[in-house]
Amino acid sequence: MRFRLFKPLRGWRQFGGEVGIIVLGVLIALGAQQIVETMNQRREVRELRAAVDNEIGYGLTTYDARLSQNSCFEARLEELSQWLASWRAGKPKQLVGMISAPRSGPPRMSVWASRDPNVMAQMPLQMKLVYGSIYDEFANNEVQRLDERMTWLALAEFDRATQLDNASMMRLQGLLTRARWRANNITSNAQYIAELAKKFGITPQQDSFPSAELAEFCTPILAKT
């Protein structure tokens, strides 16, 4: 049995040229497709970054709003400390207003929580690490913020108090210490996140709490006499 070798009708040289053109066309098509995919991936990363940066900016805003109350916070704790000291000295002073509490709000984390893993895979490693650190701190600060709220709700139990026994004075002292500790954690956390956000040029958006809403907390409540 004889096998006949395939022979192009127009010769091997022309056949090779035609195959080369086909191969080149395929390579060009694949290259163009890769370029389009790369451009789409970069666009998706930019869109994700813009959304995440906006979310972080809102978080920084809530931090700034809370930290802007630190002077009122310190003044209120000083008044309550003096009030406690007056009871311990047997010369109790009176509170003439509500203890109130600092205002605070949670950060937003829905964009980060719903991020697309395929898009994240295209993001540079260092960028992912910084973003992850910021959101870790957001989660940590939320624990601090909620406990601070619970602490001030407990302090509010002393509103209009006319008698403080030893147990009440001990409880008040513990709450004041706890409030200071939480405030220090919140402040240091906010400063740390602000430094991380600066790496991406992220800044707070705008004030969250109108000053009128903070008037009660910033008004002195300890009687002068």
Alpha-carbon gap, residue 126 to 68, rounded angstroms: 31
Q: Please, what are the averages of pLDDT over each run of 10 residues along the chain (225 residues)?
A: 52 57 64 59 84 93 90 95 95 92 91 90 89 93 95 95 93 97 94 90 72 77 84
Alpha-carbon gap, residue 99 to 158, rounded angstroms: 8
pLDDT at 121: 87
Residue (of 36, 33, 45) closest to 116 by Cα position: 45
Alpha-carbon gap, residue 85 to 42, rounded angstroms: 62
pLDDT one-digit tens code per residue, 38-57: 556 678 888 999 999 999 99
pLDDT at 21: 67
State pTM to two decimals.
Answer: 0.78
pLDDT at 144: 94
CB 214 within 8 A of CB 69: yes
Report the b/e string of 31-63 with b at 16+ CB within 10 A: eeeeeeeeeeeeebbeebbeebbebbbbbbbbb
Six-digit token string for 215: 């008037």
What's the chain's Rg over C-alpha atoms?
32
Who's near 120: CB < 8 A, 6+ residues apart? 48, 128
Distances (CA, A) of 78 to 8, 84, 207, 222: 98, 10, 26, 10
